[in-house]
């Protein structure tokens, strides 16, 4: 089975994409018409809309650059008939196949992801020329859509920053003009201006956003981390200098010491590993429920199990050598195991499916009952489930 990212990029290789296009320029990839048939389609869209209160809480509309929310199902239908674009935000929350696909992609790339759905009718434009503050892929599910992509006007733009561009690049600067059909993919780096319009027939596409880590994300985390250090919690010296442009010598000394203390923290060998652990702890679990296994199973029940499946999600596994304990952090949960469980834990989180035979073949001298006692907390937390 191809990885989610390889599936999206096919027939491009991951190496070609990373070396030539990632965060550099947009890319149009031609695909088979049925490429996304198993992922999403008209029936799934109708199922989502019909199985919730009206209007669906994730739905909004856009037309002529203005966004609005329909008051009921009739208003939604009339708006679409009138040319408005229907947007279903976080579509992965409402479809198990989309949710599982994004869980696997998030684990693969180590970044948070999101899927929004867009239904557009021919010759009606939902958004004017604009840029997004995250990289995204367009997965064209049905119909046709014409896209124009322009260069960035602010390098490495962020959602929260002091200044944003308000004037789009000139039309002649367009560097990619393409028409997506069913099965096609379009990659657009953050900050690159773009706009699109459907042609010929209704268009359905999924926008897959990737929220890549930046130095700002790391520094925001570091600020919270520094609250554990007494020297950074101290009150700043009182400045008694009233002259403009003159810095009190006590402030200057404090600033120099601050630089030294900060450099020491930045040089701590496990600093980035702690950042990764934080990312795993705050990652989203799209499919947390696994009843009745989460409430009823016991070690004795697992003794007869032979096959297991892991719910794919980002996890951080570490060994506390002083305490002799293995720590597993994922989706806001923290589980602790005895040290002899480490080999089993790392094996479980390295694959999506595994068997009793594979677990017993691991180079650890523990019984099947001991293995089951390791699996049970993972099952109760929704990380693993036995398969009939």
pTM of the complete model: 0.87
Any domain includes 93: yes
Residue pair 99/92 in contact by the 8 Å Cβ criterion? yes
Number of structural domains found in the chain: 3
| CATH number for position 65 | 2.60.120.650
Domain membership of residue 225 as a residue range: 215-268
Same domain? For 194 and 66 the reply is yes
Distance CA 226, CA 121 (A): 51
Distance CA 69, CA 225 (A): 40
What pLDDT, on the 0 to 100 scale, is given for residue 54?
86
Distance CA 291, CA 126 (A): 41
Same domain? For 255 and 369 the reply is no
Question: What are 364-382's pLDDT values in tens digits?
Answer: 888 999 999 999 999 998 8
Question: What are 204-219's pLDDT values in tens digits?
Answer: 999 999 999 999 999 9
Nearest residue to 5 (alpha-carbon basis) of 187, 276, 189, 156 = 187
Give the HSE-up count for residue 44: Cα atoms under 13 Å, Cβ half-sphere: 22
Nearest residue to 222 (alpha-carbon basis) of 272, 170, 147, 167 = 272
In which residue ranges of the chain is pLDDT below 70?
1, 126, 239-247
**Cis (ω within 30 of 0) for the bond into 275?**
no
Same domain? For 106 and 130 the reply is yes
Which 3-state string (H, E, C) describes 240-302?
CCCCCCCCCHHHHHHHHHHHHHHHHHHCCCCHHHHHHHHHHHHCCCCCCCCCCHHHHCCHHHH
Q: What are phi and psi of 306, to 5 degrees?
A: -125, -20
First to last CA, the chain: 22
């Amino acid at each position: 089975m191809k990885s989610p990212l390889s599936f999206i990029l096919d027939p491009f290789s991951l190496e070609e994409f990373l070396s030539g296009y990632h965060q550099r320029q947009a890319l149009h990839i031609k695909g088979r018409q049925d490429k996304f048939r198993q992922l999403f389609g008209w029936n799934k869209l109708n199922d989502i809309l019909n199985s919730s209160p009206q209007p669906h809480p994730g739905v909004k509309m856009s037309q002529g650059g203005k966004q609005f929310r329909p008051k009921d199902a009739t208003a939604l239908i009339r708006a679409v008939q009138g040319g408005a674009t229907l947007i279903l935000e976080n579509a992965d929350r409402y479809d198990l196949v989309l949710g599982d696909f994004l869980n696997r992609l998030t684990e693969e790339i180590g970044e948070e992801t999101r899927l929004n759905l867009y239904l557009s009718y021919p010759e009606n434009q939902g958004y004017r020329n604009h840029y997004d503050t995250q990289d995204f892929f367009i997965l064209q599910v049905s119909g046709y859509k014409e896209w124009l992509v322009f260069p960035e006007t602010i390098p490495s733009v962020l959602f929260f920053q002091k200044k944003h561009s308000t004037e789009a690049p000139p039309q002649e600067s367009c560097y990619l003009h393409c028409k997506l059909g069913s099965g096609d993919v379009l990659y657009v780096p953050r900050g690159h201006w773009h706009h699109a319009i459907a042609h010929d027939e209704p268009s359905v596409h999924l926008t897959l956003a990737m929220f890549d880590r930046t130095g700002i994300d790391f520094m925001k985390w570091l600020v919270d981390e520094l609250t554990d250090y007494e020297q950074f919690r101290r009150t700043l010296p009182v400045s008694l200098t009233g002259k403009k442009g003159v810095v009190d010598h006590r402030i200057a000394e404090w600033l120099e010491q601050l630089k030294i203390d900060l450099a020491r923290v930045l040089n701590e060998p496990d600093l980035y590993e702690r950042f990764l652990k934080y990312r795993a702890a705050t990652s989203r679990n799209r499919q947390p429920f696994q009843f009745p296994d989460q409430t009823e199973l016991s070690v004795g029940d697992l003794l007869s199990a032979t096959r297991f499946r892991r719910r794919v999600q980002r996890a951080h596994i570490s060994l506390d050598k002083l305490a002799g304990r293995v720590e597993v952090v994922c989706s806001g949960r923290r589980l602790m195991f005895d040290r002899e469980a480490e080999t089993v834990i790392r094996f479980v989180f390295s694959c999506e499916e595994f068997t009793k035979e594979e677990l017993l073949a691991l180079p650890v001298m523990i019984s099947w009952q001991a293995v089951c006692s390791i699996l049970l907390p993972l099952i109760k937390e929704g990380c693993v489930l036995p398969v009939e």
